[in-house]
Amino acid sequence: MVFMDFKEKQMWKKENGVTAERVPGAMAAYRESVDEFSKHAAEFLEHIPTLTKAREAYQRAIMVSTELRSILDTGDEALKSLMAQLEQAVGVQLAAPAPEKKRPEMAKVEPIKAPAEDTNMPRILP
């Protein structure tokens, strides 16, 4: 510990701008600052439980969101798989050639020839 004599203290006060007149004003400013700090710190500490509750609610929301996202992703994968199966089934049906249907043959029409010798005889259709 360094001890200063009176002259050294006066010299130190002069060099560092500390004078007897400034000390009482500085002490008042210090007290005011300490009081203000204490007041605001106490107000802040009153809200710590609210901050803690907000953080817990945030963590729950993130947990539920993650779970919901997982459920939705699983559902999406199931839907995509089902859709792929449907598309494959439809593609197989569309790609298979349709069975050919036989068209009925057209009837052949032949002219009826009457016997040449008797032209007055009625004609009979077969």
Domain end among 46, 66, 83: 46
pLDDT > 60? residue 121: no
User: Do 30 and 68 have their domain in common?
Assistant: no
Q: Is 98 within the bounds of a domain?
A: no
- The residues, ordered by sequence, that sit 6+ positions from 115 with a Cβ below 8 Å of its Cβ are 121
Give the pLDDT confidence score for residue 80 in this predicted structure: 96
Give the pLDDT confidence score for residue 94 in this predicted structure: 76
User: Do 29 and 53 have their domain in common?
Assistant: no
Report DSSP state, residue 100.
Answer: P
Full domain range(s) for residue 87? 49-93
pLDDT > 60? residue 118: no
Whole-model pTM: value is 0.43
User: Do 53 and 89 have their domain in common?
Assistant: yes
User: Do 54 and 27 have their domain in common?
Assistant: no
The dihedral through the CA atoms of 15, 21, 25, 28 has a sign that is: positive
Give the pLDDT confidence score for residue 1 in this predicted structure: 43
The answer to whether 123 and 112 have CB atoms below 8 angstroms apart is yes
Give the pLDDT confidence score for residue 98 in this predicted structure: 61
Q: Could you give the number of structural domains in the chain?
A: 2
Give the pLDDT confidence score for residue 93 in this predicted structure: 78
Q: Give the pLDDT band (50/70/90) at residue 63.
A: very high
Give the pLDDT confidence score for residue 18 in this predicted structure: 54
DSSP secondary structure letters along 49-91: HHHHHHHHHHHHHHHHHHHHHHHHHHHHHHHHHHHHHHHHHHH
User: Do 9 and 33 have their domain in common?
Assistant: yes
The neighbour count for residue 118, using CB atoms within 10 Å, is 7
Q: What's the mean pLDDT when you consider all of the chain?
A: 79
Give the pLDDT confidence score for residue 103 in this predicted structure: 67
Q: Write out pLDDT tens, residues 80-100.
A: 999 999 999 888 777 766 666
User: Do 41 and 9 have their domain in common?
Assistant: yes
